[in-house]
Structure 1
């Protein structure tokens, strides 16, 4: 029996689509007492897709064999799990996360001492002169450093730096940097990063260290205040914006 070419092509496309849309499911529990963990964040580091566990600890996320899933949850050690053939074939697995102790450092708060005299108090109130820029998807702004008045030119000094640090980071990691746009387009990942300040998920996705992230932002002329206080979503948008400008300037 002969099969027409259009029909054969359609069958191939259907098969390819079905293969490319595989998902894995599972349940996340505490390793110490098997307690169900709700709202655990899961990110497929290969496909840059995110998911969250429901009230029963269950999750479902798009994945293929050998994809790496990154699990993070407040108070627990983040882990990475590789998707296997058996997982795809047999379905649900139990992912156990280990609780970690968090030692809080002592913080000293020094309030501004007001005298009641405007002339004196105005001089005692700290003033930050960092320029502020808008971030896509947020209603607030961020500090972009106090050396450049324009967001468009804030990376010029870095591009022509003799050390060329940005080239070493961006130019040698094209695959990881291409993930920036995918990360910004995935709502699950954006919601996750908006609540995090530890840079762990960004490090896992971009395959860079915390030191690299801080150094990228410094070379892109972002202020110390922004680097130390911004949430991970703001950091993502900052690195993404710097990378896009870097590509344009390098091309020119």
Structure 2
């Protein structure tokens, strides 16, 4: 009987340790003396992952007991809180930020010969002209900087002369087709990196994908027939999509995930 009791205590203690190691979503709302604080920056100092509060001051972030969260926003004191196990209960977590006065730099008032009339004062005011690509009217000033693959493709499909001979020759030689493939590969790698940066902790701790399988799982999900680029801009839809793909991925890899045979 004593052995059974001791075994039960050890089992409960082990389960408690495991639950503390696994990160879950920490939900909370941020307020000040007036109301909700939106766009406050929250970062988990242990995982280096961050997020922002929405218009209602609400946010969620992956955390576990003893993780430290730092909350900051312009005009407020930066606040740090240590996550406790009771923060994951049913009660609502609310965090209050305190406003701080903003001190302005000292302004030095100098004598001037202005009279208070626009017609005469504008003649005495010297202004420094801003020099940049736009003011110099350089080609493509203000446009988005092209990636290496986009730049090569743009060059191959453009012609410095009036007659588009170069694009025609590049098309015949197959250069344009090759550059389009390179751009498609570059775009794919961007999507893969974006998914990894935003969801790798969720994939590991919530979907229970093994560390060595995370990259392979992300490629598997991105190459799925029902993957849409719009998912990258919708966190809720992306999480639902990854959950669905994790079940398929585990069934295809029964050696690593025997419970999904």
TM-score if structure 1 supplies the norm length? Answer: 0.36
> Which has the greater radius of gyration?
2
Highest relative contact order (Cα 8 Å, sep 6+), 1 or 2?
1
TM-score, normalised with respect to structure 2: 0.35
